[in-house]
Structure 1
Amino acid sequence: MRICDLLNPQSVRLNVEVSTKEQAINNLVDLVAQSGCLNDAERFRTAVFDREAKVSTGLGEGVAIPHAKSAGVTKPGLAAMVVPQGVEFDSLDGKPAKLFFMIASPHHASDAHLDVLARLSTLLISEEFRNSLNSAQSVDEFLKIINKADEAEIEKENARKQKQLADEASKGSESDKAELSSSNKGYYDIVAVTACPAGLSHTYMAAEALEKQAKEMGISIKVETDGAAGNRNKLLPEEISKAKAVIVAADRIVDMDRFLGKPLIRVGVVEGIRHPKNLIKSALDPKCPKYQSGFLGSTSVSMRLYRHLMSGMAYLMPLAATAGILSAFARLDIVNDTQVGFFFDRVGYSIGTLLFPILSAFIAYSIRGRTALVAGFTGGVMADLGGSGVIGAVINGFVGGAVALLTTLFAGRFLKGHDATVALLLYPLMGALGTAAIAVFFTNIPAQFVDVYINSFFSESSVFTLIMIGALLAGMMSYDMGGPINKMAYAIGVLFLADSLPEQGPGGLVMASIMAGGMVPPIAAALASILVPQVFTSKINSLRFITLGKGLVFITEGIIPYLQTNPKIMKTACVACSALSGGLSMYFKCSICAPHGGIFIIPLCDHPIQYIISMASGIVVGIFAFSVIHLRSGSDSSVKVTVNSENT
């Protein structure tokens, strides 16, 4: 399959005039829709904007490749657009983007389609190829340039495959072989892995950039692409062991344990595209740090701690929600003091006793895998027994992971040949004893002091202080829509709630403010476009009910399409209406029993009427602010598109 099989002439436009990033994306989505590969254009449009809000797809050098996977796509498709004057696209080099390709992919695309998309990403690395496309005078010429380059790339791929087959036949190898170094030593100087969240363009562009740069430097390299088509060109254990260094350019989790003890550079996938030469030099530098483990790896300490904490919270949240909802239901008047109420209360309480052990266990699991589960679980039990609360559970989770790590390193060095016995008995026993001892003598006492202080602070603080806390946390929820500030606020809420359950306590107050802050902006934006549709674009109006649904179930990111108009002012308005609702929720002492659920758990909260009033206040302010901002921005103006006579 060739690139032009996915790129129809109707989906290509040259000499387009757009003035904003939003207009460029909307134009591209409309072009993709003309190819007939979408069953829900607006759903795909929302997915593209959501993807763009996380990391810009402006790659620099005048190229942008917006893309997304969506249920609104029936089959893979492409669209292309050239904007001669360029448009600001938050590109990595800060320069306007001129050449655009949009990739639409269903969640389960065939390997053949994904290979085509990967090949396009590879071709765009070439400056000559990009310049030729930008200079094309007609759609036919544009497609001919792509066809010619595509054929050349296919020939290269076939030649590589034939060489691999020849190597396998001559050496009797069953593994994949790639180009070796000029000295034919039989190993690679560098092995690398590239991966991005969508597994589309960035994954393959980073791989191509690294391979091209290594060839120029006379260095042999093998790159594993962990993309949407699966794990391609997989690194073999012997290739890793013989390599001088490892480069991991990935924005999602990849298998890192196989690189233990190797000099390793870990960066985002975009760095692999932008600075392959620097990465190769750094990896081969004698001072390059060796990868030691998921806990002692080469990324920053704060990022590693954050990832491990988030791993524990991912397993904690469904338990916390279940325990909180069951306990809250047991206190309702209709079942209180009945056998049914007693049953739900006992089940909720019993699940609640597992919160700290589960949180600690999966923090430890994130650090050292299954061998750390018992050590981490023990840390959570010790936090519960010692009264050190969620602070102790978090600390003991990291302690359990560290103890398990040291235990496995010690056993691997001195107790070789007894893997089964060690795994079944020594690892969990030593992990549990070590974690328990550290908890009793070192971590529980200071953690208990901090936990008691935090709870005392909430019970003794003035109303004004509580309002400020509620406003701050709620405002953080809508500051960056799924970014680090948003996640930090949510993590605080979940941990505080876990510390309070089965009673709601201070954690319930904090969670109520945070949930209000996350729900208000998308609800307000959706209602604004319903009440005054004339001030919003038709595309935004088509998303209003989807946005409303997301807001009602506590998905803050539903407002992202509305932020494309005057993003800084819109973000300020979001923070303001969220902070108002969060502050009022804290003032009324509203308390939520679960970390998610939106409107479905409001009937179970303390003071539900006041909670609705708190949210309604922020929603009213948001409706007014969003309407005025979009009205003053003239967001109902149409996009001006000028096309050459040769394209019509």
Structure 2
Amino acid sequence: MKITDLLRKDGIALGVDAADQNAAIDKLIELHSKVGNLKDAEEFKKAILAREEKGSTAVGMGIAVPHGKSAAVATAGVTAMTIPAGIDYKSLDGNPSKLFFMIAAPDTAADTHLEVLSKLMTLLMDQRFSQKLIDAKTADEFLAIIDSKEAAKDAEEAQKKAAAAAPAAPAAPSIRKLVGVTACPTGIAHTFMAAEALELKAKEMGIDIKVEKDGSGGAKDVLTAAEIADADAVIVAADKNIEMGRFDGKKVIIASTKEAIHGPEDLIKKAQAGDVAVYHHTGAVTKSETTSNESAGRKAYKHLMNGVSHMLPFVIGGGILIAIAFLLDDYSIDPSNFGSNTPVAAWFKSIGGAAFGFMLPILAGFIAQSIADRPGLAVGFVGGYLASTGATFASPGGDVPSAFLGALVAGFVGGYIVLGLRKVCEVLPPALEGIKPVLIYPLIGTLLIGLVMCLINPVVGALNAWISGVLTGMSNGSIIILGALLGAMMATDMGGPLNKAAYAFGLASLANQNETGYMIMAAIMVGGMVPPIAIALATIFFKNKFTAAERKSGPVNFIMGLSFITEGAIPYAAADPLHVIPSLLVGSGVAGALSMAFKCTLMAPHGGIFVFPVVGNVAMYLVALLVGSAVGCLLLGILKKNAQEA
């Protein structure tokens, strides 16, 4: 597709006399309506004005590129206009704007038109080209100038690809290698103009640079781990958040797209001088490009961490709000409804519960996104949601949730489903390229992940029923062994079938209203309190076992553990299940066994430390909690690898 496939002759107005910015916008929208690009001109204008509120789209050098993505756009397209006298469009360089291109993009994640639009943005960085367009007398001449420049640009890109494919000559020691990333809120105009400015100036200065463009259709020219490692410095010209973890330990210059467009030489000279601070990432590395010799395990770990890091805020925010609900509630009103007895407590608990409701879909969605990029998000989200509801063919509304273990499966399966669909769709004709990310991937991918999860969840349901029967049979045997088993079950999958089976058994035991039933509930709650507390202790005493982000979030788990919110440990368990889960399982099992041995009782089904006043033999109950947490912490220190080895 060429630029002139999006810019039609009837969509060009030359030598226009416009009074101000609003008049220019109205004229450009009128041209879009004239060529049939819009469903609703007024709605599209709202999208244009909303983009202008974020920052002027007049990029300087006499050029303005207003653009908007909206459901009001019927067909992707471009209109153009020249105002030789110029108008004030709040340009970045303060000069009047004379050359205008208005981009209308449909409200979809990606489409083939975006690549064409990115090419137009890079062409406009050539001021001689822009001036020729301003001076054009007819629409035919205007289009011919674009066609000629585009052909030259395509030939240049072909030469670059050929050169990249040829064996590289050894670089002279004096040549600096730079890498960069550009990104703007919409990923349509400034992203590519900033990248082009950096690339042109670096070429002029004889410096090797590769720039990743984080555009609306996904990242282009993505930097590899090897390229980042070899670079002397990194230039990040971005007006939105990008993934910075991969630049940890590198010299990084952080700037805006405006600075890159208007002062690329200053940024490059700063990088050349070497007087640049080393960047230290404070959060978990959410994405990093893989190398060809990277192990499958390492790749899987990176995908996993992408999900965990995005899930963590939901766990922390929701968990603390639920803890506040217990703090503010009145246990005496209805012990079985503790946390929601008063309106204020119920309000906090409902908000915290809403945050928790997003936890598993977010985990699965961002694992899938790490594997398959943006098309994987929807498929992963749906899989994670089905894991949280326990949907089956027999019970679409939910039966038994497979919880975070099911969400892990959904994330990886969903990501690889989308990768498989991409492979299959390679045989489709180019004309169908645009419908892949908006129709084929989400439709077929969601259907397939739904089938997978509806096969997994019934197995979980059957397991749950079997476990309940086993526990009922054990209740007449050794109570210490039963307490150890119940405590361990609470830590095994933290909200999954084993955890839910143990908790359901505890609720049923409470209904018996006898000492054994109350002892069972006490063992279950202490087993559920241990995992977050053990994690929090381990982040303090075994710092080298955890990333910086995990250490920062660690103390929050004290609050969650004391509030009987076992889910606080999920991000840590999900990140390293083979080492974390066994450690927590043993710690919780010890706590459950001690609670039974000390004949501690509990008549409340929830509440953590907030219901300790009604715990029987509360002093020894605290001992059980502390010993179990200490055992879990110690095992984490022994079994977990150092964070940098993970």
TM-score normalized with structure 2 length: 0.49
Larger Rg: 1 or 2? 2
Higher relative contact order (Cα pairs below 8 Å, separated by 6+ residues): 1
